Amino acid sequence: MKKLFCLVLALSMCLSLVACGGGSSSGNGGGGAASSGAASSGAASSGGSSASTPSGSQGGSTSTPSGGSGDTIKIGVFEPLTGDSASGGNKEFLGMQYARSITPTVEVGGVTYNVELVTADNGSTTDKAPSAAADLVGKGVSLVLGSYGSGVSMAGGPIFNDAGLSAIGVSCTNPNVTAGNDYYYRICFLDDFQAHALANYVQGELGAKTAYCLGELGNEYDQGLIAFFTQYFEAAGGKVVSASFPTNNSDFTTYLNQAKSEGADVIFIPNSISYITQILTQADSLGIEIPFLGSDTADDNMVLSAVAGTNVKLYLTTFYEEGGDPDFDEGFKAFLNSDPTLMSSNGGNDIIAAVSAMGYDAYNVAIEAIKAAGSTDPAAIKAAIGGVSVDGVSGSISFEPVNGDAVRDFAFIKTADTAAGQWSLVGKTTVE
């Protein structure tokens, strides 16, 4: 369906170019060239200042009038820069900023455009996401990157769809992000895939027969992953016990004791970073020795810090493992170390989160889509995205034609080395 829609858009665009004499649409405001220093060259404007501002600051861009010099193309950044998912959102944005520091311009129709990253903070909540999405639409961006978090992506998706503005999801893994939305694409694997990979691993390698699943009540990411994990784990003969905690819960003692009393061999916690750190810290204080399973959200240095020096066992699925692309690793670490505010946004150290690699890849996919479109017009970019193929640091990226999901057939599984305070790669896995 997306492929057919793209063809129709491409045809109508060609007709409009004949009528109007070509060129980009008025949604691409003018403005001066973006700065290109090591620390700020990847920055979006934020009230006229660099986006290499302290983590959690309100994003945004001063709008530029339409019909200007036409030397700037705006890419929207739809991320949780505050709230429960801020750690992941800021790290994802760091990857985009680093990519822009390397590729700050794009040539379209013989004209070199400076790329401006325009941020909109969705606050990690589904009630704030639609207004953040509308903010980007109003600022005339040509396409959008994000979000970290499936719930906010689904909440903002209809706004992008109605505006005819394409969004490229970076690490939003719930299948419903793209289903039924012709304007949402994504570069990550999906929840059914990572749930299947985790179920296979813990049953085959850890010998797990009973799993305890714990998710936030009403959270589509948590509950969706638990449903997929349950499907695959039970299909292979396992038993699943599930429980849900209310939003803003801070005491997980009852749930952890229930997992123990149920004889769980593993505890699956596909939650936000803030909940995961609380659960694991409390598990350590209770002396819980049952291995924990995390999804892609657990791949964060805040989680690693929470279990450092403990006896907690944690395994997770993720998109990238440090060492996968040495050139990227070296360059990104140098980028982080070039500015204390960038380091702060990364949690105070230069450990590379998988979502940073994904943010880097997403920016490059966007650049290739703009080149393929030969225009800064959102409709032209929409028509081009489906045919883009990029060899990213996280793997090869292309899109299947039905929902615009990435063609991904592997995930990394790693574990927390609590003694060394670092991640340790278990292996690269796929599913039949």
Sheet holding 314-318, edge to edge: 239-245, 210-216, 266-268, 292-294, 314-318, 411-417, 422-429
Residue 368 lies in a domain: yes
pLDDT tens-digit profile of 51-98? 333 333 334 443 322 323 459 999 999 999 999 999 999 999 999 999
Pairing state of beta strands 395-397 and 390-392?
antiparallel
- Tell me the CATH number at 368: 3.40.50.2300
Q: Same structural domain for residues 160 and 265?
A: no
Q: Are 79 and 95 in contact (CB under 8 A)?
A: no
* Mean pLDDT of the residues in the chain: 87
Residue 160 located in a structural domain: yes
Task: Quote the pLDDT of residue 432.
Answer: 74
Compute the average pLDDT of residues 163-188.
97
* Predicted confidence band of residue 44 (pLDDT cuts 50, 70, 90): very low
**How many folded domains does the chain comprise?**
2
- The lowest-confidence range among 6-10, 129-133, 304-308, 347-351 is 6-10
Q: Please check whether residues 259 and 389 belong to one and the same domain.
A: no
Same domain, 392 and 419: no
Please give the residue range of the domain that contains residue 415: 191-318+411-429
pLDDT at residue number 70 = 57
Q: Which residue has the higher pLDDT, 37 or 352?
A: 352
- Is 73 part of any domain? yes
Confidence band for 356, pLDDT divided at 50, 70 and 90: very high
Q: Is residue 290 part of a domain?
A: yes
Residue 40 has pLDDT above 70, yes or no: no
Sheet containing 72-79: order of strands: 105-108, 111-121, 72-79, 143-145, 167-169, 184-186
402 part of a folded domain: no
Confidence (pTM): 0.83
Residues 48 and 181 grouped into a single domain: yes
7 and 148 together in one domain: yes
| 3-state secondary structure string across 2-27 | HHHHHHHHHHHHHHHHHHHCCCCCCC
Question: Does 240 map to a domain?
Answer: yes
Residue 19 domain-assigned (yes or no): no
> What is the Cα–Cα distance from 389 to 369, expressed in whole angstroms?
9
Question: What gap in Å lies between CA 173 and CA 353, rounded to an integer?
Answer: 16
> For the chain, how long is the longest CA-to-CA vector?
72
Residue type, 118: V
Q: Determine the average pLDDT of the residues in 320-333.
A: 96
**Same domain (yes/no): 114, 60:** yes
**Could you tell me if 284 and 357 lie in one domain?**
no
CA distance 82 to 132: 12
Give yes or no: residues 163 and 65 share one domain: yes
Other residues' Cβ atoms within 10 Å of the Cβ of residue 331? 15
Average pLDDT over residues 232-258: 98
Q: Which helix (H) or strand (E) holds 97?
A: helix 86-102
Picking from 69-73, 170-174, 200-204, 315-319, which range would have the lowest pLDDT averaged per residue?
69-73
Residues 132 and 161 in one domain: yes
Pairwise CA distance, residues 100 & 117, whole Å: 8
267's enclosing H/E stretch is: strand 266-268
Do 32 and 59 fall within a single domain? yes
In this structure, is residue 405 part of a structural domain? no
Could you tell me if 282 and 424 lie in one domain? yes
Q: What value does the mean pLDDT take over residues 17-31?
A: 32
In a shared domain, residues 156 and 138:
yes
Which two structure tokens, joined as six digits, stand for 143?
Answer: 């396409």
